[in-house]
Amino acid sequence: MRVRFPDFRLGSVLATSFTGTLSERHGDAVERIPVPHRLVDWLAVNGLAVDSCTTAQLHLARELRESIHAAATAAAIQDALPASAVQVINDCSAQGRAAAILTPEGKRQWRLSSASCVEDALSVIAADAISIIAGERDGKLALCASPTCQAAFFDTSQSRSRKWCDMNTCGNRQKKARFNANQRNKPRSAE
């Protein structure tokens, strides 16, 4: 497994952005939150700022992430939800004390019970996962068409025909691969 520091994929759906912190799950997997402070960074860019994170909290976060991945994948292929994954998601959801706050500008923000409470942040992510897996939101869970990725993503396109978890990574790579294959198959022009 490679460990890469900088880039996070920022999707519009919190739960699947979170599962995307382990990318290329069926290829050369890339762990984007290898150490606690990287989880702190990820939470900050996703509106869930915490001061610090312990190794135990990172483990809990990864456990939640893999549980969301398993449950969302099952939901995408209309399989039974794995009971252990459901348990972890529910425990994380119940453990947190985050409050939704409406800003004067009419935006929703999350207020955590304390700045050290990674569990509060995880409860927001777990609740987000529950809302998409339970079909509460407008969209459909699907699996990325890239064979090395197969990430579960939430398709909110009008036609529900999105193929890739992320256009900038998987989508582009597939397009390039197709382009290169086409170039190879083209007869050379006479010189």
For residues 58 and 33, give the distance between their C-alpha atoms in angstroms, rounded to a whole number.
8
Give min distance, CB of 53 to Zn ion, in A.
26
- Considering the complex, state which of residue 37 and residue 178 has its C-beta at the smaller distance from Zn ion: 178
Out of 25, 149, 154, 174, which residue is the one contacting Zn ion (CB under 5 A)? 149
Please state whether beta strands 30-31 and 140-143 pair in parallel, antiparallel, or not at all (unpaired): unpaired
Burial of 129 (0-12, 13-18, 19+ CB in 10 A): buried
Considering CB under 5 A, how many residues would be counted as binding Zn ion? 6
The span of 25-33, 106-114, 145-153, 155-163 binding Zn ion (CB under 5 A) equals: 145-153
Q: Which tokens sit at 171?
A: 């989508």
Residue number with CB closer to Zn ion (172 or 180): 172
Tell me the three state secondary structure of residue 102.
Answer: strand
Alpha-carbon separation of residue 21 from 36, 188, 190 (angstroms)? 13, 42, 48
Q: Considering only 44-52, 68-76, 116-124, 136-144, which stretch makes contact with Zn ion by CB under 5 A?
A: 136-144
Q: Which two tokens stand for residue 186?
A: 């083209």
CB of 145 to Zn ion, least distance (A): 8
Binding status of residue 146 toward Zn ion by CB under 5 A:
yes
Q: Which of 57, 74, 170, 174 touches Zn ion by CB under 5 A?
A: 170
Answer yes or no whether residue 165 interacts with Zn ion by CB under 5 A.
yes
Number of H helices, E strands in the chain: 6, 7
CA distances to 13, 39, 46, 191 from 50, in Å: 20, 9, 11, 63
Given the structure tokens 């606690």, which residue do they identify? 36
Q: Output 50 or 165, the one with its CB closest to Zn ion.
A: 165
Could you say whether residue 151 binds Zn ion (CB under 5 A)? yes
Among 144, 152, 154, 174, binds Zn ion (CB under 5 A): 144
Least Å distance, CB 146 to Zn ion, is 4
Shortest spacing between CB 121 and Zn ion, in angstroms: 24
- Contact positions vs Zn ion (CB under 5 A): 144, 146, 149, 151, 165, 170
